[in-house]
Amino acid sequence: MKQCGQCKTFYKPSEFRVKLSKLASEGRGLYDGRRLTMEMSICRQCRPKPRPYTAMTERELNTLVLSRDITREFADGILRTRAMHARRKMSTAVTKRWERERLARVKPALDLCSVERRAVKDQLRYATENGKERVIAFCETYLQVIDEYAKQVRDSKKIHDIPSATRVRVFNAWHACDKARGPMLFSKLADILSASQQPESEK
C-alpha cells in the first residue's frame, strides 16, 4: 500500500501508475514500442482529469498528432464532426430566425382572429343564455371559419384571403339573425391584406 501525497489515503500501487505518451517515453530513451509506466506521488483520484479530445482546440490536437499520442485521422475526425455541428447549429439559427420573421409578418391577421374570436365567444355565451338559436348558429359557423383560417395562416405563415363561398356561408348565417354583431373578419382582413401587399409592389 502507498499513501497519496495529496489526499493521504492509502491505495494499491496500481492507483499511482500512469502511462506516459509515446513522445515522453521516447524522451526518456527507453521507448521500445510500448509507452512507459511511471509511478506518481498522488493517486488516480487526485490527478487532474485529462481533458476529452473533443474539448481540445485544433492546435492542441495537432500537438498530440505530432507527439503521436493520436493519429492524424482521429484528429481530423474530431475536427470534421465539430465543423459539422457548427454548420448545423448555424443553419438551425437561421431557420429559426426565418420562422420568427415569417410569423411576425402574419401576426396582424392572427391578432385579428383572436380579437374576433373573443367577441364571438362573448356573443355566443349571451345567445346561449337567452336561447337565441339563430345567433348561436351564426356564432358557431363564424367561430369555425375564424379558427380554420387562423390555423391555415399559422401553418402556412402566409396571409391569404378567405374564399367567397365561406364568406357567403357566414353572412347567410348572420342575416338569419334578428340582431347579432356582424362579422368583422372579412373587411378588416382586406385592410391587412392590402397593407401587407404594399411593400411587395414597392420592390
Alpha-carbon torsion, ordered 75, 77, 78, 80, to 10 deg: 120
What's the closest the beta carbon of residue 51 comes to Zn ion, in angstroms?
20
Q: Does residue 195 interact with Zn ion by CB under 5 A?
A: no
CB 107 within 8 A of CB 150: no
Q: Does residue 23 interact with Zn ion by CB under 5 A?
A: no
Q: Does residue 4 interact with Zn ion by CB under 5 A?
A: yes
CB 123 within 8 A of CB 143: no
What's the closest the beta carbon of residue 28 comes to Zn ion, in angstroms?
25
Q: For Zn ion, give the closer residue by CB, 6 or 197.
A: 6
Residue whose C-alpha is closest to residue 149's, from 195, 198, 183: 183
| Other Cβ atoms closer than 10 A to 137 | 16
Contact set for Zn ion, span 39-98 (CB under 5 A): 43, 46
What's the closest the beta carbon of residue 41 comes to Zn ion, in angstroms?
9
Q: For Zn ion, give the closer residue by CB, 7 or 66.
A: 7
> What is the rounded distance in angstroms from the CA atom of residue 94 to the CA atom of residue 147?
30
Residues that bind Zn ion (CB under 5 A): 4, 6-7, 43, 46
